Amino acid sequence: MNWDDLATKIIDAVGGVSNVKNATHCATRLRLTLYDDSKADQERIDNFTGVLGVVNQGGQLQIIIGNDVPSLYDAFLKHYQPSEQADSAEVVDNKKGLTKVLDIISGIFIPVIPAMAGSGMLKALLAVLAIGGMISTTSQTYIILNFVSDTVFYFLPVLLAHSASLKFKTNPYVAMVIGAMLIHPTFISMVQLALKSKMTISLLGLPVTLATYSSSVVPILLAMWAMSYIELLVTKIVPKVLRIFLVPMLVLVIMTPLTFVVLAPVGAWLGGTIACQVYSLNRKIIYAA
């Protein structure tokens, strides 16, 4: 299969490289976010050799390729470079409402899926080996591989901070700092000590909720959404000559109390509420069956 040729045909069929806002892929699909969906000729793409189907879901053009999609993606990147499109001509994002929300969510989670899938499969493999008696759960090999399989989930706020920062167009490294501070060992120790001694934690005189955020999702997404506006505002205010160090500092100074005092606790509550609703719905479905 000539992947470079297919990538060229797809680019032409979606309206050219200038119409591609973002490109990524999952296990079987090339996922394109376009500036103008009307320029994409889905029927034409569907007839290309190597394409198994085309769907548009959540404002995202999904081209089904199969297990060879990484090869097509690599060929696609020879023609499309995200950094080159960041400062392209002004194009209005016409996605609204639920479509835009789904586009944001998919754009944030899809890059992280391979790491989560690989880690999940590693944990499943360890379970099979342990049940089969081929590895001891007390061995150092098992312990190391087990924490490796947990790593992506424990540090999920950091990974999501990076992918969310790209979606919200903020500095990815400052974003990862904000994600990492939620699971910093010192903060976790402070929370555990406060819970044990029945004390409180305060930041600038404001109460900090005694919660841990490892493996959490909603808190960091809210933080990244807020950061996108704060970073934009700070960048406009700070003189260009000082932006390289002053903007990141001010963003951290503002985002730290905002995240610990407001956004992270609200996000944890929302996440817990959603989880409870899903659990309740599952129980109803099981009982109804």
Tens of pLDDT, residue by residue over 15-39, are 988 888 888 887 788 888 888 888 9
Q: In this structure, are 31 and 126 located in the same domain?
A: no
Distance between CA atoms of residues 235 and 250, nearest Å: 10
Whether 276 is catalytic is no
Q: In this structure, are 105 and 49 located in the same domain?
A: no
Q: Is 255 exposed, middle or buried (0-12, 13-18, 19+ CB in 10 A)?
A: buried
Note the pTM of the prediction, 2 decimals.
0.68
Higher pLDDT, 158 or 243: 158
Per-residue pLDDT, 110: 83
Parallel, antiparallel or unpaired: strands 53-57 and 201-203: unpaired
Q: In this structure, are 281 and 173 located in the same domain?
A: yes
Do 55 and 62 meet the contact criterion of CB atoms below 8 Å apart? yes
- Of 70, 94, 118, the one marking the end of a domain is 94
Do 207 and 261 meet the contact criterion of CB atoms below 8 Å apart? yes
Per-residue pLDDT, 84: 41
Which among 95, 86, 94, 99 has a CA at the least distance from the CA of 21?
86
Distance between CA atoms of residues 232 and 208, nearest Å: 26
Per-residue pLDDT, 96: 56
Q: In this structure, are 166 and 149 located in the same domain?
A: no
* pLDDT tier, 77 (very low <50, low <70, confident <90, very high otherwise): confident
Q: Above 80 in pLDDT, residue 234?
A: yes
Q: In this structure, are 130 and 54 located in the same domain?
A: no
Per-residue pLDDT, 288: 62
For residue 179, which amino acid is it?
A: G
Q: In this structure, are 86 and 169 located in the same domain?
A: no
User: 127 lies in which domain range?
Assistant: 101-154
Tens of pLDDT, residue by residue over 173-219, are 999 999 999 999 999 999 999 999 989 999 999 999 998 898 888 99
Q: In this structure, are 209 and 110 located in the same domain?
A: no
Which among 104, 77, 100 has a CA at the least distance from the CA of 10?
77
Among candidate residues 17, 26, 166, 252, the one labeled active-site is 26
- Of 47, 62, 94, the one marking the end of a domain is 94
Per-residue pLDDT, 259: 95
Q: In this structure, are 163 and 147 located in the same domain?
A: no
3-state secondary structure 7-39: HHHHHHHCCCHHHEEEEEECCCEEEEEECCHHH
- Give me the number of domains the chain comprises: 3
Q: In this structure, are 161 and 282 located in the same domain?
A: yes
* pLDDT tier, 277 (very low <50, low <70, confident <90, very high otherwise): confident
Q: In this structure, are 86 and 35 located in the same domain?
A: yes
Distance between CA atoms of residues 248 and 174, nearest Å: 7
Mean pLDDT, the chain, rounded, equals 86
- Phi-psi group of 225: left, alpha or beta (phi > 0 → left; psi -120 to 50 → alpha; rest → beta): alpha
Q: Above 60 in pLDDT, residue 121?
A: yes
Q: In this structure, are 117 and 88 located in the same domain?
A: no
Distance between CA atoms of residues 167 and 202, nearest Å: 32
Q: In this structure, are 284 and 187 located in the same domain?
A: yes
* pLDDT tier, 286 (very low <50, low <70, confident <90, very high otherwise): low
Tens of pLDDT, residue by residue over 124-180, are 999 999 999 999 999 999 999 999 999 999 999 999 999 999 888 889 999 999 999
User: What CATH number does the domain containing 62 carry?
Assistant: 3.30.1360.60
* pLDDT tier, 289 (very low <50, low <70, confident <90, very high otherwise): low
Q: What is the DSSP letter of 240?
A: G
